[in-house]
Amino acid sequence: MSETILSRPKAGATAFSILAAVSLCHLLNDLIQSLLPAIYPILKDEFTLSFAQVGLLTLTYQITASLLQPLVGLFTDRRPMAYSLAIGMGASLVGLVILAFAPNYPALVAGGMLLGLGSSIFHPEASRIARLASGGAHGLAQSLFQVGGNFGSALGPLLAAFVILPHGQASLAWFALVALGGIAILTGLGRWYQSNGHARPVKRGAPVRHADLTAGQVWQAMAVLVALIVSKYVYLASITSYYTFYLMERFQLPTETAQLCLFVFLAAVATGTVIGGPVGDRIGRKTVIWVSILGILPFTLALPYVGLTATVALSAIIGLALASAFPAIVVYAQELMPGRVGTVSGLFFGLAFGVAGIGAAGLGLLADRTGIDFVYTVCSFLPLLGLLTVFLPNVGGRARR
């Protein structure tokens, strides 16, 4: 399958130093992004927010990212911008500072929007660089890239528990130093991207879909992948936005302990991301998608009815399995449309943000009306959408080992 952005590196020529750098920057970016939901308990008390307002703040942040990411990917497929990643991190830095000193709810929303803007620029372009540096091992490269983001997301609640909760909202400004470090590394990645001849637009007449599939088959497969993303990210939104509240209400845990339980879940998500890509390279991405979405159904159905220890254990199993799906889904979609790497990456990262945002807002309204326990009962049935995997065609096969 030809790569239309540049000549594909030879198999085995994976640029691990570039993958390490882009994964580290993903860690820094998503660490910054994850600080917003991690400090929801502080913001809820400080500004007397309802669950619906917490959900609306998440929706604003994530819709900003979701609407812009595919547009950024489409634009940069046609007009690559080597230093756009550093610009995106700069937007996140400004958003972080606004959140640190926000005097009211509208200012919080503005800070969330700037964080969303930073993510909208970062994810499609960083995913493209990971694919360019993959040496043909696309699943492995996508996992290494994404695991950085997942570890960053896992570190956010931990840092919130030990740094921000004791020192208050203004201590968010300390993390501007993290953003500055990210800008420096991303500037170097931009230089590599440009100096190695990668910053070239898609060639005219290049194939934009899989050679063995009709356009109808491609769009049907894309629709199935969208449904699977909905299942995955609405469930994840129930954990990332409301898990701490659920644990505090049902098991009377203090905020710090609940944040540590959230860290366990997010660490499991990071581990699952490492597994999904390389396993998909070996056994096929469709198999990984089957197991990671439909396979968690027994665990999600049991979670609302068990005790604290089992809740934490089941949440870790669910996070591990669910996370393994995303690298497989992204690479599978890139194989469906090989001439639109940036567009596909932006679409699926953006869709993930948007679905999570809409899910968080809807689940917040549901929690206000029915209670947080009922939210997890409803969400336990979402993995049933994994049955749609049967409609995915077999593409790609096993990647080069």
Per-residue pLDDT tens for 97-153?
999 898 999 999 999 999 989 988 888 888 888 888 877 777 788 888 888 887 787
Question: In this structure, is residue 377 part of a structural domain?
Answer: yes
pLDDT range class, residue 53, cuts 50, 70, 90: confident
- Which is higher by pLDDT, 206 or 69? 69
Percentage of residues in the chain having pLDDT higher than 70: 90
* Predicted confidence (pLDDT) at residue 219 exceeds the cutoff of 90: no
- Which is higher by pLDDT, 196 or 318? 318
Residue matched to tokens 């170097």: 188
* Predicted confidence (pLDDT) at residue 284 exceeds the cutoff of 80: no
Question: In this structure, is residue 69 part of a structural domain?
Answer: yes
* pLDDT attached to residue 303: 93
Question: Taking the model in full, what pTM does it have?
Answer: 0.69
Per-residue pLDDT tens for 249-270?
899 888 888 888 988 898 888 7
* Predicted confidence (pLDDT) at residue 16 exceeds the cutoff of 50: yes
- Alpha carbon 151 to its chain centroid, in Å, reads 11
Tally of structural domains, the chain: 1
* Predicted confidence (pLDDT) at residue 396 exceeds the cutoff of 70: no
- Quote the mean pLDDT of the chain: 82
What range defines the domain where residue 374 resides?
16-391
* Predicted confidence (pLDDT) at residue 29 exceeds the cutoff of 80: yes
Per-residue pLDDT tens for 151-204?
787 787 778 778 888 888 888 889 989 999 999 999 999 888 877 655 455 555
Question: In this structure, is residue 115 part of a structural domain?
Answer: yes
Question: In this structure, is residue 9 part of a structural domain?
Answer: no
* Predicted confidence (pLDDT) at residue 54 exceeds the cutoff of 80: yes
Question: In this structure, is residue 65 part of a structural domain?
Answer: yes
Highest mean pLDDT among 63-67, 76-80, 158-162, 294-298 belongs to: 294-298
Q: For 61-88, what is the mean pLDDT?
A: 81
SS (H, E, C) 97-113: HHHHCCCCHHHHHHHHH
Query: Which residues in 44-108 belong to E strands, given as ranges?
Result: none
pLDDT range class, residue 63, cuts 50, 70, 90: confident
* Angle ∠(108,114,116) on CA atoms, nearest 5: 105
- Which is higher by pLDDT, 400 or 62? 62
Question: In this structure, is residue 8 part of a structural domain?
Answer: no
Question: In this structure, is residue 4 part of a structural domain?
Answer: no
Which stretch of 17-21, 64-68, 174-178, 376-380 has the lowest confidence by average pLDDT? 64-68
Q: For 60-77, what is the mean pLDDT?
A: 79
- DSSP line for 340-380: -HHHHHHHHHHHHHHHHHHHHHHHHHHHHHH-HHHHHHHHT
pLDDT range class, residue 214, cuts 50, 70, 90: confident
Question: In this structure, is residue 6 part of a structural domain?
Answer: no
Residue 384: count of CB within 10 angstroms of its CB: 14
Instruction: Write the CA distances from 112 to 196, 238, 370, integer angstroms.
Output: 35, 19, 27
- CATH number for the domain that contains residue 348: 1.20.1250.20
